[in-house]
Structure 1
Amino acid sequence: MDQLDIALLKLLQEDGRMTVSELSKRLSLSRPSISERILRLQEKGVIQGISAKVSPAAVGRNTIVFIQVSELKISYHEFEQKIAKDLDIIECHRMTGRIDYMLKAAVGGMNELNQLVERLMPFCSLNTSVVLTSPVANRLILPQEK
């Protein structure tokens, strides 16, 4: 990746709806060149998709919670299948160390959090932490400088 690719990634992460024409103007490249770079970054798996960032609170999910999962009572595969079907879980990460999984959930409030915990309790031990604020969220992801 060169500096133009990095600049392109930055612009697309800041505004995924930016048109090829606008990108072309901002980067002083032709539209075909921008399109080719975007396609190449997609083919390499650098750009995995373009999507909207949705505010959980704006869609009634005012409570964000992280859940540490340990001591699974079912297989990893079975647990992952159950988690994949639960729409309150917005991220699931298998971990090293004493915690098996770290889940991120978005729920409407404490009642919904309680329901989620009750759904998960038969399968594992849980430790929940409610997010108070997120001073760093959705940071741009760019290659590390060497």
Structure 2
Amino acid sequence: MDHIDIEMLEILQEDGRISVSDLSKKLNLSRPSVSERMTRLQERGIIDHFSAVISPEAVGRDTLLMIQVSELKDTISRFEKMIAEDTRVLECHRVTGEVSYFIKAAVQGMDSLRELVDTLISYGNINTSIVLKSPVERRKILPENREQG
């Protein structure tokens, strides 16, 4: 990746719906060149996919949670299948250390929070935290060494 690819990634992470025409103007490149670079970044797996970012609050999920699961009481496969099917769960990460999983969930108020905790408690020890503020939510992801060529 060169500096143009990195600048393209930065722009696309700010606005994934930017037109190729507008992107070409910002990068001072022709539209075919921009399209070719974007295709190459997708083929290399650097651009994984495009999607919309939905506000949980705007769709009625006003309570954001971080949940730690430790001392799993069921099989990993059954737990992960249950988590994958629960639409309240936004992210789930299996990790090393004393905690087995970190889960990010968005629910509609305390009743939904209680239902989620009741579901999870049979799978292991649960530690739930309500998110008060997110000073860093979606940071742009760019190569650490920006001088790559």
TM range (shorter): over 0.9
- Alignment-mate amino acid for residue 130 of structure 2: V
Q: TM-score, normalised by structure 2?
A: 0.96
| Matched pairs, number | 146
- Alignment-mate amino acid for residue 81 of structure 1: K
Structure 2: distance between partners of 1:102 and 1:84: 13
Q: Secondary structure at the match of 2:137?
A: coil
Deviation string 1:7-50 (CA, Å, 9 cap, x unpaired) is 00000000010000000010011111111111111111111111
Does 2:132 align with 1:132? yes
Residue of structure 1 equivalent to 2:92: 92
Q: Secondary structure at the match of 1:92?
A: strand
Residue of structure 1 equivalent to 2:143: 143
> What is the CA distance between 1:57 and its match in structure 2?
0.3
Residue of structure 1 equivalent to 2:118: 118
> What is the CA distance between 1:68 and its match in structure 2?
0.2
Deviation string 1:68-92 (CA, Å, 9 cap, x unpaired) is 0011111111111110000000000
- Alignment-mate amino acid for residue 4 of structure 2: L
Q: Secondary structure at the match of 1:100?
A: strand
Residue of structure 2 equivalent to 1:37: 37
Deviation string 1:51-110 (CA, Å, 9 cap, x unpaired) is 111111000000000000011111111111110000000000000000000000000111
Does 2:103 align with 1:103? yes
Q: Looking at both structures, which has the greater relative contact order when contacts are Cα pairs under 8 Å and sequence separation is at least 6?
A: 2
- Alignment-mate amino acid for residue 35 of structure 1: S
> What is the CA distance between 1:145 and its match in structure 2?
2.8
Identity among equivalent positions (%) equals 55
Q: TM-score, normalised by structure 1?
A: 0.97
> What is the CA distance between 1:123 and its match in structure 2?
1.1
Residue of structure 1 equivalent to 2:13: 13
Unaligned runs of 5+ in 2: none
- CA RMSD of superposed structures (Å): 0.8
